[in-house]
Amino acid sequence: MIMLAANFTWHGLPVDVVVAAGTRPKRKALDWLIKFASEKKRLLIYQVEEDWFAFGPLAFQGHFRPRFQNASGAAKSRGRTDRVSGSSQ
């Protein structure tokens, strides 16, 4: 995987971008990145196969949702609401 650390900011928060070097990042590495983002109050955008996911507050996910729409029209997001958590939404 290729990580672009603090590639840009969203509402003053750093956004890390992770691009899969193969079809998908290894689960252990992705779990670590999500935990790191949660602990350090960072936002995360990452790729799994052809799909893109956002980890962060619902407003952050909503901002990027139109960009993440797949061919079937389903948006992908993971995240947290007001606090950081690793739960899917």
pLDDT in tens, 51-79: 888 999 999 988 888 777 753 444 455 55
Assess if residue 89 is contained within a domain.
no
Domain assignment present for 32 = yes
Mean of all residue pLDDT scores within the chain = 78
The verdict on residue 63 lying in a domain is yes
Its pTM surpasses 0.75: no
Structural domain harbouring 56: 2-79
Q: In what order do the strands lie in the sheet with 51-56?
A: 2-10, 13-19, 43-48, 51-56, 78-79
Strands 78-79 and 13-19: unpaired
E strand or H helix that includes residue 48: strand 43-48
Q: Is 51 helix (H, G, I), strand (E, B) or coil?
A: strand
19 pLDDT tier (thresholds 50, 70, 90): confident
Number of domains in the chain: 1
Q: Is residue 30 part of a domain?
A: yes
Contact of 48 with 21, CB cutoff 8 Å: no
